[in-house]
Amino acid sequence: MRNRLAGALAAALLSMTPLAAPAAALPPDPPRAESFDVGMLHVDRYGSGDPIVLVPGLASGAWTWNGLIPHLAATHSVYAVTIAGFAGRPATGTMSFAAFENDLTALFDQRHLVKPVLVGHSLGGTLAIDYGETHPDRVRAIVAADGLPIFPGMQQLTQQQREAIGAQMASGVKAQTHDQFLAFEKNYMASVGVNDAALADQVAALSAQSDASAVAAWLQADLAADLRPNLAKITVPVLEIAPYSPAEGNPAAPMHYTEAEKADYYRTLLAGVAKLDVLTIAPARHFVILDQPERFQKALDDFLARV
C-alpha cells in the first residue's frame, strides 16, 4: 500500500505534458533595504508601509517573489523570508512547523510587525495556514498560492499512512547526489513547476542549491501534516490561489479536474475557514507567481484592498 501510494504521488507530480509558452526568465533580485536572520529564517526587507511577509515553498527562496516585490514595496514593508537549508542557505536548527511558528513570531516581535499579511507559496502557503490556526491574532490576512492544509490526494489516508509515505519519499531525497537532485528538479519544473522550458531550467538550478537533508525533512513534515481539524480557528480572511493547467483536464491525467472542479476540491480541503476565497488562475502550473505574474499581482492587490 505504501509503495503504491508513493508511486501514485510521484506519477501525479511528474507526468503532465509541458505547455508551449514564450521564452521567459526570472526577474533579477530587487535592491534590498537590509538582510538579517531570525532563527531559521533569513529575511530580506524592502520598501516601507503596512507589512507583508512572503514565505516561499519547498527548496525555494526569496527569488520566487522577485517580480512581485517591487510592486508591493512601493506601498508596503515587504519581508521575504528564506527557510534555513533552502536556496543555498545553510541547514540549521530544528525543521518543523512548530519551530517555524516560533521564529516567525520572533520576527514579528523583533521588528514590531502589527498584523502583517502573510503570503505563502506551496509549503509556504501551508505554513501560513498553520500560523493562522495557532496565532490568528497576529496576522491581518493569509494568502496561500497552491498551499493547502493537507497534501492533495492524501486527504483519505490515515496519519500513519501519511507518515510512512513522507518517510519513504524523504529517504529517497536524502539518498540523491547533487546531480541526481538537479535532474529531479529539472524534470519537476518542466512537467509541473512552470510553463516555460527556459524558466524551468533556471528555477530548477536555483532550487537544487538547497540542502537535500533540509528538503527531505520539510517534505516529510508536509506530507504528514493535516491541518484541517483546526481550520475553524482561523478568524482572518484567507485567499487560496489555485493554478490550473489545461493538462489537468486531460482524462489521462493522474488527477483529472476541470478548472471549476479543482476550485471546488480546494474549497473542500479548506472547509472550516470562515472567511475563504478560492481563485483559479489559468493557464498556470505550481509556480503560478512566475507563470502569471500580472494576474497573480492583480489577485493579491484586489484581496489587499478588501482586507
Closest CA relative to residue 16, chosen from 137, 189, 145: 189
| Number of domains the chain contains | 1
Three-state SS at 130:
helix
Three-state SS at 272:
coil
76-83 and 41-46 as β-strands: parallel, antiparallel, unpaired? antiparallel
Q: What pLDDT is attached to residue 252?
A: 78
Q: Is residue 206 part of a domain?
A: yes
Indicate the angle between helix axes 178-188 and 212-224, nearest 10 degrees: 50
Q: How far is the C-alpha of 27 from the C-alpha of 63, rounded, in Å?
A: 8
Q: What pLDDT is attached to residue 247?
A: 86
Q: What pLDDT is attached to residue 41?
A: 98
Closest CA relative to residue 6, chosen from 153, 211, 182: 153
Q: How many C-beta atoms surround the C-beta of residue 173 within 10 A? A: 21
Assigned C-alpha cell, 69:
516585490
| Helix ranges (DSSP H) in 15-82 | 69-73
What contacts 24+ positions apart, CB below 8 Å, involve 170-173?
170/216, 170/217, 170/219, 170/220, 171/216, 173/212, 173/215, 173/216, 173/219
Q: For 264, how many CA atoms within 13 A lie in the half-sphere containing its CB?
A: 5
Question: For the domain that residue 278 is a member of, what is the CATH number?
Answer: 3.40.50.1820
Assigned C-alpha cell, 130:
498553520
Q: Is residue 18 part of a domain?
A: no
DSSP class of residue 87 equals T
Q: How far is the C-alpha of 153 from the C-alpha of 144, rounded, in Å?
A: 18
Q: Is residue 23 part of a domain?
A: no
| Helix ranges (DSSP H) in 94-196 | 97-110, 123-134, 159-174, 178-188
Instruction: With beta carbons less than 8 A apart as the criterion, state whether 282 and 243 touch.
Output: yes
Is the pTM value of this prediction over 0.85? yes
Q: Is residue 133 part of a domain?
A: yes
DSSP class of residue 59 equals T
pLDDT per residue as tens digits for the range 136-161? 999 999 999 999 999 999 999 999 99
Q: What pLDDT is attached to residue 249?
A: 84
Name 109's Cβ contacts closer than 8 Å, sequence gap at least 6: none
Domain interval for residue 51? 2-11+33-306
Q: Is residue 17 part of a domain?
A: no
Q: Is residue 21 part of a domain?
A: no
Q: Is residue 168 part of a domain?
A: yes
Q: What pLDDT is attached to residue 302?
A: 98
Q: Is residue 68 part of a domain?
A: yes
Q: How far is the C-alpha of 14 from the C-alpha of 10, rounded, in Å?
A: 6
Q: What one-letter code names the amino acid at 126? A: T
pLDDT per residue as tens digits for the range 167-189? 999 999 999 999 999 999 999 99
Instruction: With beta carbons less than 8 A apart as the criterion, state whether 284 and 299 touch.
Output: no
Q: How far is the C-alpha of 100 from the C-alpha of 105, rounded, in Å?
A: 8
Name 264's Cβ contacts closer than 8 Å, sequence gap at least 6: none
Q: What pLDDT is attached to residue 253?
A: 77
Instruction: With beta carbons less than 8 A apart as the criterion, state whether 38 and 102 touch.
Output: no
All residue ranges of the chain with pLDDT < 70 are 1-23
